[in-house]
Amino acid sequence: MYGTWGGYGGIYGGYGTPNAGRVKFDTKVKDAEVFIDGSYAGTVGQLKTITLKTGSYDIEVRSSGRRAFAQRIYVVGGKTVKLRPNL
């Protein structure tokens, strides 16, 4: 895995990247922090929908004083995984 999220050569794929899918976050807690495979990716409000290369990912969404959301997902090229963290 690469060390930076969203950087060139990272695991984010661009919109035109073959074999890339999307992950969409649906929660009212916009300042919740998103971690992908243990690495901080940003807040729900910053990310909203992210594009990732096809593959498995451990997603965790955390917000201070709330129960954390954790789920293993599989991203498929051209598809969107919708996550609804109940924080």
Q: pLDDT tens digits for the chain (87 residues)?
A: 333 344 333 445 555 567 889 999 999 999 999 999 999 999 999 998 999 999 999 999 999 999 999 999 999 999 999 999 988
Say what the pLDDT of residue 87 is.
83
In sequence order, what are the residues at sequence separation of 6 or more whose Cβ sits closer than 8 angstroms to the Cβ of residue 86? Answer: 27, 67, 69
20-83 maps to CATH 3.30.365.10: no
Say what the pLDDT of residue 19 is.
83
The token duo for 67 is 């129960």
Say what the pLDDT of residue 8 is.
32
Which DSSP letter does residue 66 get? Answer: S
